[in-house]
Amino acid sequence: MSKCLSFKPSIDSNSKILILGSMPGVKSLNEKQYYAHPNNRFWKVMAYLCNYPNLDKESYDSKLNILLKNKIALWDTIKSCKRIGSLDSDIKKEIPNDILSLLKKYPNIKTICLNGGKSYSMFKKHFGELFQKYNCIHLPSTSPANAKFKLEDLNKQWSKILK
């Protein structure tokens, strides 16, 4: 089992939506980029939501900047954990990120989106009180492991964050 450490948040003072994953997978950790696995549909869903059709073909820094221009921030629920491979079900001994401090520092965040079941369960476990203060939305994972959702279905479900 190897120790995994999440990235710093991609956020600015204009951000209104915070998307929280669980913990980046092996490919993302190796590339030091959120959602780097070529089969993860996150960037395709963001392309749809941001009305930016070729977003997934942009450089990583451009992708993050386009999300920020659309008032969307990224981070993870988990700061560190032990895990073999990339599956959320294999996460052990998790330590949460300091989401409370982040939200105090960025008061324009109104909506918190939880990308998948593990992000949702960890958020509920460590930050359950925030469900009363924020618009928290549990969304289907964009991971390739979530094969039951087609891209069109993900786009439809994730469109909730814009309302």
* Choice among 14, 30, 39, 40 that is catalytic: 40
pLDDT at residue number 36: 93
- Global pTM? 0.93
Look up 40 and say whether it is catalytic. Answer: yes
Backbone angles phi, psi at 48, to 5 degrees: -65, -50
**Over the stretch 83-115, which tens digit does the pLDDT of each residue have?**
776 666 666 788 999 999 999 999 999 999 999
Query: Could you tell me the two tokens for 84?
Result: 């073999």
User: In the CATH scheme, what is the code of domain 2-162?
Assistant: 3.40.470.10
Which residues pair with residue 4 across a beta bridge?
Answer: 81
**Over the stretch 57-66, which tens digit does the pLDDT of each residue have?**
899 999 999 9
DSSP 143: S
